[in-house]
Every structure is written in structure tokens, then in C-alpha cells.
Amino acid sequence: MDVGRIIFTGHAVHRMFERGLSVADVQSVIRYGEIIEDYPDDMPHPIQLLLGYCGGRPVHVVLAAEAATRTGWVVTAYIPSIAIWEDYFRTRRLR
């Protein structure tokens, strides 16, 4: 989804700091990453899970977005674990 305005939730900022992810890292994933999961019916806004690479490491960003205002809320951002993800961090492993 094309977002013009990005808002970082308090949770996202806290987690980004813990995980050594910068605002620029997350913005890069939002701008250039790929959507690997899409939840268009989530409320109050549709959610997307994005995958991008920053400094050679994979980064997932959970983004809630409102198309009408082109606003995106970063819910969280993290480094995906190989124990949970396969296919170059695009597909969840079956448990």
C-alpha cells in the first residue's frame, strides 16, 4: 500500500530500539520491501507484513494502513528467526 505519512507506535519504537533497527531501516522496508502477508479485513485498518533487507539482514515490519488518508502505522519491526521462517523469511514454518 502506498503510504505518504508513517506513524510509529510506542510499541514499535521500543522494539526497534531493542532490536537495533533505525527509523531509516523501517522506512526502507516500507518503501522497497515486499508484502509477504496481507490481512485486508483487519480492523480498524488493514495490516500487511513486509519483508526487506537492511545492511544484509532480513527485517519484518508490521504495518497498518488507511488508504483514504495514505497513513501507515508501524505496529512493530523485528529480525525474523530462521526457526520460524523459511523461503528466505517469506513463509512461516509449519509447526
> Going from the N-terminus, what domains does the chain have, and what CATH number goes with each?
5-92 (3.30.2310)
Q: Give the whole-angstrom CA distance, residue 36 versus residue 15.
A: 21
pTM of structure: 0.93
Q: For Cα atoms 66, 70, 8, give the angle at the middle one, nearest 5 degrees.
A: 75
Is 90 exceeded by the pLDDT of residue 52? yes
Q: For 58-72, what is each residue's pLDDT tens digit? A: 999 999 999 899 999
